[in-house]
Amino acid sequence: MGIVKVTSDEYKEQKGNLFFVIFISCAAAFGGLLYGYDTAVISGAIGLMKVHFNLSPTMVGFVVSSLLLGGAVGVLASGKLSDRFGRKSILLLAASLFVVSAIMRALSSSISFVIISRIIGGLGIGMASVLSITYISEIAPPHMRGRLGSLYQFAVAVGIVSVYFVNDYIFSIGEDAWQNSTGWRYIIGASGIPALLFLLILSPVPESPRWLVKANRTLEAMDILIKINGTHIARQELYHIEQSLKENQPASLSLFKEACLRKALLIGILLAAFQQLVGINAIIYYAPQVFEAASWS
């Protein structure tokens, strides 16, 4: 597939639009908020669902962890799908899966239906966790790439924390009988609201310039790069994108060839491993049960 050349005299000098850059980065980072929200939302509902569906401890654990089954598949599928259909398209698909999952969970009549809906939500989480940060890194100006990329992790933390406030409000609406029969549906169905917002704010954002160049849509990519970076930097960015695509070498290979990148890769792997090994997920998933066992109301 050839690459269309864009000459320097085709565009007048323009400055980048900082507001536009921040908006599209925040829109993509919103996927992190859903990641955090959907990960932690089960903490408020699982105790009520245990009573409503008469779940055994084993089934409680499976209901909670079923989200990760879909997440694993979503992560594995996101790369190939986004390379074929575009980053934005698959992020929109992830947002749609979030919405569908929230509706299905709220209307579930059996625990099997709950598990299926959580697996569907997990697909969206897996896709968003990969592509939100990928999209930001491909669209952000070079001098802001690190700062804008950190928006995703910040959004994850906001999503996790916000769940507990939303759950607490829903708990305050009714008594124990209402919570066991209906309240858990409100808790897990409420995640559909941020999911719908994610779907709406994604609609106006542009496609990744790198993907557009790869898809032989260089003029569209140049227009986006100019709006983001300004004309001068946009030409440089377009040149770098074209050169990296011409090399046709998987980026992962360079991580192992260069010593400085191998060190960064090792640090990244260890950080991810230790994040799981400290057991934070158990707190996120079972915080209310942990405090209740410690005699807190």
pLDDT in tens, 102-114: 999 999 889 999 9
The pLDDT of residue 132: 92
Q: For 122-177, write each residue's pLDDT tens digit.
A: 999 999 989 999 999 888 887 888 888 889 989 999 999 999 899 989 988 888 88
Domain residue spans of the chain: 19-205
Residue range 19-205 forms a domain whose CATH class is mainly alpha
What average pLDDT does this structure show over 287-294?
Answer: 80
Q: For 256-268, write each residue's pLDDT tens digit.
A: 677 777 888 888 8
Can you give the pTM of this predicted structure?
0.84
- pLDDT beyond 60 at 249: no
> Residues 163, 37: contact at Cβ < 8 Å?
yes
What burial class does residue 194 get, using C-beta atoms within 10 Å of its C-beta: 0-12 exposed, 13-18 middle, 19+ buried?
buried
